[in-house]
Copies of this chain bind each other. A is one copy, B any other.
């Protein structure tokens, strides 16, 4: 059954650097090879690159869209979810995943990282935000040095 598959969100900005886009595509490809289902925000940039990668390996891609228009999904989204909730859809992206891989990203990505950590969903970071509080580094974001390492860590942390 498909629902024994693992669901992993890939989050990041819609204006990635070429390097970030490449990371996202490789993460998407690797997730599909490993049989995981990709969840993302459904739009361009990191989201599209990850969906492209997953699709190229026959993987399933879910896009949780902020607007009212399913046509706004990037062309590699197979399952568009139309929320009409604006940025509040960010919380659904992470809650629908069992682990999150963050690649670069701006404040929207940071909100997704925050919501994931708040919900106890593991977050793996590739060139993304780092956090500190009261002068103390917060190490909740699990660092990875490569797409393969990010996917390995994400999948190994899914237990439920």
Which A residues are closer than 8 A to B by beta carbons?
1-3, 7, 37, 60, 62, 64, 68, 70-71, 73, 77-88, 91-92, 95-96, 98, 104, 106-108, 110-111, 113-115, 117-119, 127-134, 140, 160
Contact = CB atoms under 8 A, between A and B. Distances in A.
B132 A133 contact: no
Given A79-B37, A81-B92, A87 B73 contact: no
Nearest to A64: B81
Q: Chain A interface mostly helix, strand, loop or mixed?
A: mixed
B79 A95 contact: no
A80 B3 contact: yes
A56 to B, nearest CB: 13
Query: Taking the full assembly, how many copies of this chain does it contain?
Result: 4
Nearest to A84: B86
B111 A115 contact: yes
Given A62-B79, A85-B88, A130-B132, 4 more contacts: A3-B79, A81-B92, A83-B96, A91-B111
Given A127-B134, A133-B128, A115 B96 contact: no
11 contacts: A3-B78, A60-B79, A62-B81, A64-B81, A79-B79, A82-B95, A83-B92, A83-B95, A84-B85, A91-B111, A128-B133
